[in-house]
Structure formats: C-alpha cells, structure tokens
Amino acid sequence: MKLSLKEISKLIEASLEGDLSKEVVGFNTLEDATSEQISYAVSTKYLESLANTNAGAVIVDSSLKKYCSTNKLIVEDTYLAFAKLTHHFKEYQSIISINDIQLNIDKISSIEGVSIYPGCFIGKDVIIGKNTTIEANCVIEDGVHIGENSHIFSNVVIQKNCQIGNNCIISPGSIIGSEGFGNARTNDKNWLAIAHLGNVQIGNNVSIGANTTIDRGTIKDTEIHNGVKIDNLVHIAHNVIIGENTAIAAKTGIAGTTIIGKRCMIGGMVGIVGHLTITDDVVINATSTVNRSINKPGVYTGFVPLMYHSEWKKVGMWITKLDKIATSLKIKLKNIK
C-alpha cells in the first residue's frame, strides 16, 4: 500500500506540516524508518529518536512537533491515530482457488524429502526446506518460510510472512503469527484494535508445544532465537524477544515487548508483565508473577495473594524490609536480656 501524506492526514484527521504529495509505503520505528516509511512518537521518552529519525513523516501531538525535523502529521491522540492508520497498511492472506492451492502443494512436495499430508492449505510464495513434514490440516499462509528437517504437526497455523528455521518442531494446534493484543481508546471510550504489521521470526532447533500462540509484532518482529523450548499452552505476545536456549513451561503468559535473555528457565503458569527485560541465566519458579525487570542471574520466586492494589503496595514494602526488621528485633531482645 502506498499513501500520500495528504491522504493520510484525512484518514487520521491530522493537520500536516510538510509535503502533501510525499508518499509512504508502510510503518517503521523512529530508529529504523526510511524516507519511504512513516513512524510515530507518543512521549518525550522518544525525543532523541524523533530528532534523528529518517522517516518520511512522523505522527506527533502539538507538544512534540518542534522536535521533529521531517514531515509532521499533528493529532490530538497519537496512539489512536497510529491505530487507525495501521489498518491501511495491513496485508492479509490472499484468496486462492482450490486448483492453485493444489499446484502450490505439488510444487513443494517435489522438493527432496518434503511431505505434505491431506487437508493442508499452502499459500503463495511459500518456501519449505528439504526433509520437512507438514501434517494434516495445516494452514501455511503467503510468504511463509520453513527450513530443513522441521516437523509441523497437524492443525498448525503459520500466518503470513512468518519465518521458521531448521530442525524445528511445532506441535498440534499451535498458531504462529496471530494478531497481537493492542488496542487504542477512542474518544467515546470504545476500543480500536491495532493492526499488527510485524512478523514472527523463529530460529533453528526450536520446539513449540501444543496449542501455543505466538503473536506477530506490532511494527518490528517477535523473535524466538535458536534452541528455545516452549511447552504446551504458552502465550507469547507481540514484540517479545526470547534468547537462545531458554525453556518455558506450560501455561506461561509473556506480555508484549518483553525481552528474555539466553538460557533462562521459566516454570509453569508464570505471568510476565510487558516491557520488561530479563537477563541471561535466570530461573523463575512456577506460578510466579514477574512485574519488574531482572538484571542479575539467579533463581526468583514471587507469590503474593490477590488484594486491592493499594494494600499490595504496602504489603510489598513491608515484605522487602522483614529481614532488617527481624535483625533489629534480635539485637533489641539481646540488649534487653
């Protein structure tokens, strides 16, 4: 999709300062955008990136426009405007006839060692490496690449443009590249879904358990690096990055834009809050909640009963001081004696 800034300004109800005829072909981050792409900035946190961006245009509010040296689309609610515009750059699976699907299957099945079971849907421009098996009723959408010696079990969906490496196992019912959970509030307090424009990149020697979902990135890709082992019923949200040889047990949920390091071990039913960073060689025990970044390797556990947040903050503060309180009491009792 190619849109002029004049067209975009109408779509998102923006005032434009710059070249009305300038055309862009998609979104990217402030850091990575080219002159043919558009980006957005939502707060002063991004001032340096905003000042140095190569983007052809940036969506900003009036408080940030002075820091932007390229074409500016000025709006009241930057995040809402971004959400509206993503839908105009989203590419969906093309409609393919039954005959074309069969032609795609026949073409790929001719590759050495490739097996495609009955009931599969294979889209356009799919690449599958030799000795890879696609079991029954799988959906492999346009532009997907799957490496050599991989095994995709039945009823797996790999959505548009996702990349799977060599020697990978994806168990039944898993979905790779599902739409991320991102929404913006409208002025009347309804939710507007963001169309996720990134993909999923999965490295080599990765195994993914049954009924696990891995969401595509919002703009950049969700990344699962080499050697990662993921159990059943795990949810990995948009823009998550998981480092090499990390293992994640069943029913864990990892919220968006979290970065997990190498060789970590995450127990079952762990909940990890979004926008955190977990360093290498961290062990998180089962059912823990991770609500802050972890900067040092080690074994971590977090169990706190459900309560009002205002009470939880007080409890958390006292828990962190219990050791000092106990030491202080011992000293006082000793002095009394």
Structure tokens at 134: 């696609």
Residue 21 CA to residue 88 CA, distance in Å, equals 18
pLDDT digits (tens, 9 = 90+) for 213-267: 999 999 999 999 999 999 999 999 999 999 999 999 999 999 999 999 999 999 9
Active-site choice (196, 225, 235, 238): 238
User: What is the CATH superfamily name and number for domain 3-86?
Assistant: MurE/MurF, N-terminal domain (3.40.1390.10)
Residue bearing tokens 């009491």: 329
Task: Break the chain into its structural domains and give their ranges.
Answer: 3-86, 98-300, 304-337
Q: Which strands, in side-by-side order, build the sheet including 163-164?
A: 127-128, 145-146, 163-164, 200-202, 222-224, 241-242, 259-260, 277-278
Class of domain 98-300: mainly beta
pLDDT digits (tens, 9 = 90+) for 2-57: 999 999 999 999 999 999 999 999 999 999 999 999 999 999 999 999 999 999 99
Cβ neighbours of residue 67 under 8 Å, at least 6 residues apart?
A: 47, 50, 51, 60
Position 318 scores a pLDDT of 82
Q: Answer whether 3-86 and 98-300 agree in fold.
A: no
Return the closest-CA partner of residue 218 out of 179, 175, 274, 259.
179
Measured in degrees and rounded to the nearest 5, phi and psi for residue 323 equal -60, -45
Please give the average per-residue pLDDT across 309-331, as a whole number: 80
* 305: pLDDT strictly greater than 60: no
Residue 302 CA to residue 309 CA, distance in Å, equals 16
Residue 225: HSE in the Cβ half-sphere, 13 Å Cα cutoff: 14
Active site residue 238: yes
Measured in degrees and rounded to the nearest 5, phi and psi for residue 107 equal -65, -45
Q: pTM for this structure? A: 0.90
